[in-house]
Chain A
Amino acid sequence: MSGTENQMTGAEIVLQALKDNGVEHIFGYPGGAVLPIYDEIFQQDEIQHILVRHEQGAGHAAEGYARSTGKVGVMLVTSGPGATNAVTPLQDALMDSIPLVCLSGQVPTSLIGSDAFQECDTVGITRPCTKHNWLVKDVNQLARTIHEAFRVAQSGRPGPVVVDIPKDIQFATGTYVPPSMVSSQHVYEPKVQGDLDRIREAVALMQGARKPVIYSGGGVVNSGPEASHLLRELVELTGFPITSTLMGLGAYPASGKNWLGMLGMHGTYEANMAMHDCDVMVCIGARFDDRITGRLNAFSPNSKKIHIDIDPSSINKNVRVDIPILGDVGRVLEDMVRLWRASAKTVGKEHLADWWTSISKWRARNSLAYKANDDVIMPQYAIQRLYELTKHRDTYITTEVGQHQMWAAQFFGFEQPNRWMTSGGLGTMGYGLPAALGVQIAHPDALVIDIAGDASIQMCIQEMSAAIQYEAPIKIFILNNQYMGMVRQWQQLLHGNRLSHSYTEAMPDFVKLAEAYGAVGLRCDKPADLDGAIQEMIAVKKPVIFDCRVANLANCFPMIPSGKAHNEMLLPDEATDEAVANAIDAKGRQLV
C-alpha cells in the first residue's frame, strides 16, 4: 500500500479519488487556493470540468445533475468568497436531501487563523449547512476523507458535505488509498431495513382502512427508480388514492388513475381534503413540512398515521405518528408490497367505493380552474401548452421559486421520477437556470426547460454564459408578469395590497439579453401565437430565453392561507379581492 506507485501530490489524489468514486463531471470556479487541483484537471481528460460564472451556480448545477441522475453532484470552489458563495446551494441541498460533495480550497495550513487573503472559516461556516465537513490537515488523510465524503453524502438521507483542502496539502506528496482499501472512519451507518413487525402492523392497519390516503415525498425519488416502481405497485394493489409533496412529483405518474395531484399550500382541493378526512395516512419519504400540514392542530385530525422515513429526526418532529417505520423507502415498500400480496385474497377494494365517491365530489370543484383569456396569456395556460407540446419528448423541468414554480407543479404532468428539479425546502430563487445546466450536462440530448419567473431568473442569469460555452441547449421559459408574483400575492393577502417593492420597474429586454449572451431570444404575448413560439423554442439547438408575457395580476390558487387547515382552502372561484384581503387572520399574519 505504501509503494512508490501510490505516492501522489494532494492535487493528484483529489483527481484520482474523484475518478475512483465514479465522477465524470464537476462544476466549479478556479481561484488561488485551488490552483494545484485545476492544474491537475488541465492535465487529464477523464473528468470534465464545467466552468460556471458564480459558485452558487456551480452548486445548483451539481444539484440538478445529482437529482436528474441519482448520482452525487460535485462542485469545486476556491477559499474565502468561493466557499461562502457555495453556502446557499449547500443549504438548499441539505433541505432537499441532495447528495453533493463540495471540494473547497483553503489557505495553506501555516496561514490558517491569520486572516490571510481569501481566508474564511469554511468548516465553521458550512457546519450547519452540511451533513458533515472536513478540514484536511494531512495529505495522507486526503484520499480516505474524500472517499468518506462520498459515502456520507449518499448514505441514509442524502445531503451535502464539504472537504476543505489547504493549498499546501494540494502540493504535498502522500499515499493514495483506493476506496476499496478504506474502512469507514465513522460509525455512521443509517438503518435501511425496516422493522418487519412494524411493517406488518402497518399493512394490517391499511387493510382495515376505509378512507386511506398515500402521501409520498422526495424520499421516494431519492431511494431510486425501484422505489418509485414499488410505490406504483403498492397503489395498484391497494387501490388507495395518492398525493405527493412538491419534491415527490413524478414518483407516481400524474396520469395514474389514483393520482390526486400535489398537496399542501397550493395543492389541489381533493388532495388536501383527502388528507384532512382520511382515516389512515401512509406517509412515504416525506417530512410533514409546514407547507404541507397547514395549521398543525387541525392537521388530519381523525387519522392513524404511518410514517416511513430513513431519518429518525423526521419522525414525530412536526406531527405525531402511530406507526413509525425507520428505513429506506425502497426496502420498506418491498416488504410492504410482499406482505400485502400474501394477504391479498382477503382484501378487496370495494370498501373504498364511498371514499372514492367523496374524492370525486372534491375533484368536481376543479380547484385548478382559471379564467381563460383570448387576449392575454394566462400563466396557467402557458404551462399547460408547454406540457402538451413537450410531453412526448425526453423532457426535464427545473424551476426557480415563486408563482411560476407552483403553476409548474400544478399544471405540468410528471410521469417519471428525476424529471423535476426544484428548490423545495429552502426556496432558492436563482436555482433553476444553473440546475438546468447541470441536468443538460448529464443528459445532453434531452429537452431541459427552466420554468422561470422574471424576478428569479435575474438571480443567476450569468450562467447563460456557461450554457453557451458548453453548448447546453437549455430553454429558459420565463412567465413574465413584471412582478415578484408570490411576494405580491402575499402583500395582497396580508398587507392591504400595498405592493412594497414587488414590482420590477426596470426589466431587461430578455430577447436582447439572450442575444448578448449568444443565445436565442423569443418573445410571445398572444395566446394564439404561443404554440408556434414554444415549438420554435424546442426546435432551436441553442440555449433559448423565452420571454412569455403573461397576465400581470394572476394569482396562484387554490391556497391554504397561513394558519388555516386543509379544509379551509381558498379556491379560485371564491378568491374575490375581498376574500383575498380577509383570508388570513391576525394570528396567521405572523407566519411565514
Chain B
Amino acid sequence: MNAHLQPTGSAYFIAPETQVSESHTLSVLVDNEPGVLARVIGLFSGRGYNIESLTVSETEHQAHLSRITIVTRGTPHVLEQIKAQLERIVPVHRVVDLTVRAKDLGHERPLERELALVKVSGTGDHRVEALRLADAFRASVIDANTEHFVFEITGKVSKIDQFIAIMKPLGLIEVCRTGIAAMNRGPQGM
C-alpha cells in the first residue's frame, strides 16, 4: 500500500533506508471477539504497513481463539516493529514470524498454501486445453456445464499465479483466492 513511504509516520525519518524489504508470514493468535480483525488491520493501515495476504478463521472453538495469517513486506526493522505493535493489542495472544521461525528450524520457508476457485468459460479447443492443463496442475472441477468450468486448485502461491496466468487466454472469467494459510514444519506448534 504505502511501500514507498517510511513506515513509522514521522517526517524525521529521512535517513536513507539501507535495509532491503523482505516478505514475511506472520501467525497471530487472537481472542475471537468482535472488532479483533479491525484492530489488526487498522494497525497495518494506520502505521503504513503492507498487507499482501490476510486470512482469518476460528481455529479453537472451545477457547474462542482465531488464527490470523498475514503476509507482509518490510525491512527487518519494520517487521520487528509490526510484531511488537501486534503484541500490544489486548486480545492478541501470540505473534509468531513464521518466516523467521522457519529459518531457525533450518527450513527455507514455512509451509504456505492457498486455495483458489477459478472460473473458465469457452468452447472447442480452449475448453479441452483448459481441462488438460487443470489436470496437469491437479486442479479439480467442482462445477461445469457445456460452456464453463469452475476449478478448485490448492498449492503454493506461485503455482496458483501460474495456473491463473495460463487460464487467461483460455477464457478466464473470475478468480477467488483464500489468501495464505501457513504453519511451520516439524512437530512443534506456533
- A: which residues have CB within 8 A of B? 123-124, 127-128, 131-133, 135, 152, 185-188, 290, 293-297, 311-313, 315-318, 562-563, 587, 590-592
Residues of chain B with a CB closer than 8 A to A188's CB? 90-91
For residue B81, which residue of chain A has the nearest CB?
A: A317
Could you tell me the distance between the alpha carbons of A187 and B63 in the complex, rounded to whole angstroms? 12
Among B42, B77, B81, the residue within 8 A (CB) of A128 is: B42
For residue A314, which residue of chain B has the nearest CB?
A: B84
Asked if A318 and B90 make an inter-chain contact with CB atoms under 8 angstroms apart, the answer reads no
Known: A186-B90, A295-B12. A127 touches B42 (CB 8 A): yes
- B58 part of interface (Cβ distance < 8 Å): no
Q: Please report the number of residue pairs spanning A and B whose Cβ atoms sit closer than 8 angstroms.
A: 66
Known: A127-B42, A186-B91, A312-B84. A590 touches B11 (CB 8 A): yes
Residues of chain B with a CB closer than 8 A to A316's CB? 77, 80-81
Asked if A128 and B91 make an inter-chain contact with CB atoms under 8 angstroms apart, the answer reads no
Asked if A132 and B8 make an inter-chain contact with CB atoms under 8 angstroms apart, the answer reads no
For residue A159, which residue of chain B has the nearest CB?
A: B88
- Of the candidate stretches B31-39, B102-110, B150-158, B181-189, the one touching chain A is B31-39
The 3 closest A-B pairs by CB, nearest first: A313-B84, A297-B15, A290-B12
Among B12, B34, B90, the residue within 8 A (CB) of A132 is: B90
Asked if A131 and B90 make an inter-chain contact with CB atoms under 8 angstroms apart, the answer reads yes
Asked if B12 and A293 make an inter-chain contact with CB atoms under 8 angstroms apart, the answer reads yes
Asked if A563 and B14 make an inter-chain contact with CB atoms under 8 angstroms apart, the answer reads yes
Among A124, A152, A296, A313, the residue within 8 A (CB) of B90 is: A152
Could you tell me the distance between the alpha carbons of A290 and B9 in the complex, rounded to whole angstroms? 11
Could you tell me the distance between the alpha carbons of A315 and B80 in the complex, rounded to whole angstroms? 10
Could you tell me the distance between the alpha carbons of A592 and B13 in the complex, rounded to whole angstroms? 11
Asked if A591 and B11 make an inter-chain contact with CB atoms under 8 angstroms apart, the answer reads yes
Asked if A592 and B84 make an inter-chain contact with CB atoms under 8 angstroms apart, the answer reads no
For residue A587, which residue of chain B has the nearest CB?
A: B14
Asked if A123 and B8 make an inter-chain contact with CB atoms under 8 angstroms apart, the answer reads no
Known: A187-B93, A290-B10, A316-B80. A124 touches B15 (CB 8 A): no
Interface residues of B in 46-99 (CB under 8 A from A): 46, 77, 80-81, 84-85, 87-91, 93
Asked if B12 and A591 make an inter-chain contact with CB atoms under 8 angstroms apart, the answer reads yes
Could you tell me the distance between the alpha carbons of A327 and B38 in the complex, rounded to whole angstroms? 28
16 A-B pairs within 8 Å (CB atoms) are namely A123-B35, A132-B90, A132-B91, A152-B90, A186-B90, A293-B12, A294-B12, A295-B12, A296-B14, A297-B15, A312-B87, A313-B85, A313-B87, A316-B80, A563-B14, A591-B14
- The minimal Cβ–Cβ distance linking B32 to chain A, given in whole angstroms, is 12
- The minimal Cβ–Cβ distance linking B26 to chain A, given in whole angstroms, is 15
- The minimal Cβ–Cβ distance linking A290 to chain B, given in whole angstroms, is 4
Asked if A296 and B38 make an inter-chain contact with CB atoms under 8 angstroms apart, the answer reads no
Could you tell me the distance between the alpha carbons of A290 and B11 in the complex, rounded to whole angstroms? 9
- The minimal Cβ–Cβ distance linking B155 to chain A, given in whole angstroms, is 35
- The minimal Cβ–Cβ distance linking B60 to chain A, given in whole angstroms, is 13
Residues of chain B with a CB closer than 8 A to A293's CB? 12
Could you tell me the distance between the alpha carbons of A127 and B15 in the complex, rounded to whole angstroms? 31
Could you tell me the distance between the alpha carbons of A297 and B12 in the complex, rounded to whole angstroms? 10
- The minimal Cβ–Cβ distance linking B77 to chain A, given in whole angstroms, is 7
Asked if A135 and B77 make an inter-chain contact with CB atoms under 8 angstroms apart, the answer reads no
For residue A123, which residue of chain B has the nearest CB?
A: B35
17 additional A-B pairs beyond A127-B42, A152-B90, A290-B11, beta carbons within 8 Å, are A127-B39, A128-B46, A132-B89, A132-B91, A135-B34, A186-B31, A293-B12, A295-B14, A295-B15, A297-B15, A313-B84, A316-B77, A317-B81, A318-B8, A590-B11, A591-B14, A592-B10
Among A123, A124, A315, the residue within 8 A (CB) of B84 is: A315
Residues of chain A with a CB closer than 8 A to B77's CB? 316
For residue B82, which residue of chain A has the nearest CB?
A: A313
Residues of chain B with a CB closer than 8 A to A187's CB? 93
Asked if A592 and B31 make an inter-chain contact with CB atoms under 8 angstroms apart, the answer reads no
Residues of chain A with a CB closer than 8 A to B46's CB? 128
Could you tell me the distance between the alpha carbons of A24 and B113 in the complex, rounded to whole angstroms? 55
Residues of chain A with a CB closer than 8 A to B90's CB? 131-132, 152, 186, 188
Residues of chain A with a CB closer than 8 A to B12's CB? 290, 293-296, 562-563, 591
Chain B 1-24 interface mask (CB, 8 Å, partner A; 1/0): 000000010111111000000000
For residue B9, which residue of chain A has the nearest CB?
A: A290
Asked if B93 and A296 make an inter-chain contact with CB atoms under 8 angstroms apart, the answer reads no
- The minimal Cβ–Cβ distance linking A102 to chain B, given in whole angstroms, is 15
Could you tell me the distance between the alpha carbons of A562 and B80 in the complex, rounded to whole angstroms? 27
Residues of chain B with a CB closer than 8 A to A587's CB? 14
Residues of chain B with a CB closer than 8 A to A296's CB? 12-15
Could you tell me the distance between the alpha carbons of A312 and B12 in the complex, rounded to whole angstroms? 21
Residues of chain A with a CB closer than 8 A to B14's CB? 295-296, 563, 587, 591
